[in-house]
Chain A
Amino acid sequence: MIINHPLLGPRDSAEFTYLGDASMIHRPNWEADDAVAQFAEYGYQRANPAGLHRELWFHEGGDRSWLVITRDTTTHEITSVEMARDVARAEGRTK
Chain B
Amino acid sequence: MRYSAFKVIKEALTGHRGWGPAWRDVDPQPEYDTIIIGGGGHGLATAYYLAKVYGGKRIAVIEKGWIGGGNVGRNTTIIRSNYLLDGNEPFYEFSLKLWEGLEQDLNYNAMVSQRGILNLIHTDAQRDAFIRRGNAMMLNGADADLLTTAQIKKRYPFLNTENARFPIKGGLAQHRGGTVRHDAVAWGYARGADQLGVDIIQNCEVTGFVIENGVCKGVQTSRGTIKAKKVASCVAGSSSRVMEKAGMRLPIESHVLQAFVSEGLKPLLPGVITFGAGHFYCSQSDKGGLVFGGDIDGYNSYAQRGNLPVVEDVCEGGMAIFPMLGRARLLRMWGGIMDMSMDGSPIIDKTHIDGLYFNGGWCYGGFKATPASGYVYAHLLANDAPHPTATAYRFDRFAKGLMIDEKGMGNQPNLH
Of A1, A13, A40, A76, which one neighbours B399 at CB under 8 angstroms?
A: A40
In B219-270, which residues have CB < 8 Å from any A CB? Answer: 240-241, 244, 249-254
A44 with B342, Cβ < 8 A, contacts A13-B307, A20-B253, A73-B254 known: yes
Of B298, B307, B411, which one neighbours A43 at CB under 8 angstroms?
A: B411
- Between A55, A74, A76, the greatest number of chain B beta carbons within 10 A of the residue's beta carbon is seen for A76
Contacts of A48 in B (CB 8 A): 240-241, 249-250, 252-254, 300
Assess the B309–A13 pair: CB atoms within 8 A.
Answer: yes
Of B240, B253, B303, B309, which one neighbours A74 at CB under 8 angstroms?
A: B303
Task: Please give the distance in Å from A61's CB to the nearest CB on chain B.
Answer: 11
B109 contacts chain A at the CB level, 8 A cutoff: no
Assess the A18–B298 pair: CB atoms within 8 A.
Answer: yes
Contacts of A11 in B (CB 8 A): none
- Between B252, B302, B413, the greatest number of chain A beta carbons within 10 A of the residue's beta carbon is seen for B302
Assess the A46–B240 pair: CB atoms within 8 A.
Answer: yes
Assess the B299–A47 pair: CB atoms within 8 A.
Answer: no
Assess the B249–A45 pair: CB atoms within 8 A.
Answer: yes
A50 contacts chain B at the CB level, 8 A cutoff: yes
Contacts of A49 in B (CB 8 A): 240
Label chain B's interface by main secondary structure. mixed
Contacts of B249 in A (CB 8 A): 45-48
Contacts of A12 in B (CB 8 A): 309
Of B241, B307, B411, B413, which one neighbours A50 at CB under 8 angstroms?
A: B241
What's the Cα separation between A14 and B254 when bound, in Å?
A: 19
Contacts of A36 in B (CB 8 A): 399
By beta carbon, the residue of chain A nearest B398 is A44
What's the Cα separation between A74 and B337 when bound, in Å?
A: 11
B140 contacts chain A at the CB level, 8 A cutoff: no
B160 contacts chain A at the CB level, 8 A cutoff: no
B301 contacts chain A at the CB level, 8 A cutoff: yes
Assess the A76–B253 pair: CB atoms within 8 A.
Answer: no
Task: Please give the distance in Å from A36's CB to the nearest CB on chain B.
Answer: 8
A75 contacts chain B at the CB level, 8 A cutoff: yes
Q: How large is the interface on A (under 10, 10 to 19, 20 to 34, 35 or more residues)?
A: 20 to 34
Task: Please give the distance in Å from A65's CB to the nearest CB on chain B.
Answer: 17
Contacts of A74 in B (CB 8 A): 302-303
**Would you give the 0/1 interface string for A1-45, flagging 1 where the beta carbon is closer than 8 Å to chain B?**
100000000001110011110000000000000001100100111
B414 contacts chain A at the CB level, 8 A cutoff: yes
Of B298, B307, B309, B399, which one neighbours A44 at CB under 8 angstroms?
A: B399
Assess the B250–A18 pair: CB atoms within 8 A.
Answer: no
- Between A17, A40, A45, A50, the greatest number of chain B beta carbons within 10 A of the residue's beta carbon is seen for A50
Task: Please give the distance in Å from A93's CB to the nearest CB on chain B.
Answer: 20
What's the Cα separation between A49 and B249 when bound, in Å?
A: 10
Assess the B303–A73 pair: CB atoms within 8 A.
Answer: yes
Assess the B399–A73 pair: CB atoms within 8 A.
Answer: no
Interface pairs (28), CB distance under 8 Å: A1-B307, A12-B309, A13-B307, A13-B309, A18-B298, A20-B253, A20-B300, A36-B399, A43-B342, A45-B249, A45-B251, A46-B240, A46-B249, A46-B250, A46-B252, A47-B244, A48-B240, A48-B300, A49-B240, A50-B302, A53-B300, A71-B300, A73-B254, A73-B301, A73-B302, A74-B302, A76-B301, A76-B303
3 closest A-B pairs (Cβ-Cβ)? A48-B240, A40-B399, A14-B309
Which A residues are closer than 8 A to B by beta carbons? 1, 12-14, 17-20, 36-37, 40, 43-50, 53, 55, 71, 73-76
Which B residues are closer than 8 A to A by beta carbons? 240-241, 244, 249-254, 298-303, 307, 309, 342, 398-399, 411-414
User: With contacts A43-B411, A44-B399, A48-B241 known, what are 9 further pairs, Cβ within 8 A?
Assistant: A1-B307, A14-B309, A45-B249, A47-B240, A47-B249, A48-B252, A49-B240, A73-B302, A74-B302
